[in-house]
Amino acid sequence: GQNIDQPTEMTATEGAIVQINCTYQTSGFNGLFWYQQHAGEAPTFLSYNVLDGLEEKGRFSSFLSRSKGYSYLLLKELQMKDSASYLCAVDAPEEEYGNKLVFGAGTILRVKS
């Protein structure tokens, strides 16, 4: 079975730092992704982790611990435009050709001034 859990909603203040957690249980693992999705729009790629550790990309960083089945997305210097849903997804190959992303329900982040 496959299970991906993340908090439903979070609120943070403009300029602050926020950490969005994701835990997963999948039968296979070929990497973990974070996507950002603004209301009514397509998900857009933010980060990819396949090895343990921290990947930094500008104001966004993503961390992975494979042994714990845990990841987090760290957003620094929050801006109002960061208000969006943040989707955690695992690439979980099961079949011979299987390569599909399994998504969590998403965390709605509200940034307030």
Partner 1 sequence: DTGVSQDPRHKITKRGQNVTFRCDPISEHNRLYWYRQTLGQGPEFLTYFQNEAQLEKSRLLSDRFSAERPKGSFSTLEIQRTEQGDSAMYLCASTFKVGKSGANVLTFGAGSRLTVL
- Give the separation between CA 9 and CA 24, rounded to whole angstroms: 18
- Please identify, using beta-carbon distances, which residue of 30 and 65 lies nearer to partner 1: 30
Q: In this chain, which of 73, 89, 109, 111 binds partner 1, going by CB under 8 A?
A: 89
Residue 19 near residue 72 (C-beta atoms within 8 A) = yes
User: DSSP 3-state assignment of 65?
Assistant: strand
CB of 45 to partner 1, least distance (A): 5
Residue type at position 101: L
65 forms part of the interface with partner 1 (CB under 8 A):
no
CB-based contacts of 39, cutoff 8 Å, min separation 6 = 84, 85
- Please identify, using beta-carbon distances, which residue of 45 and 56 lies nearer to partner 1: 45
5 forms part of the interface with partner 1 (CB under 8 A):
no
Percentage helix, strand, coil, to 5, in the chain? 5, 55, 40
- Please identify, using beta-carbon distances, which residue of 41 and 77 lies nearer to partner 1: 41
CB of 15 to partner 1, least distance (A): 28
CB of 12 to partner 1, least distance (A): 20
**β-pair type (18-25, 70-75):** antiparallel
Interface with partner 1 (CB under 8 A):
4, 30-31, 33, 41-45, 48, 50, 87, 89, 91, 93, 95, 97-106
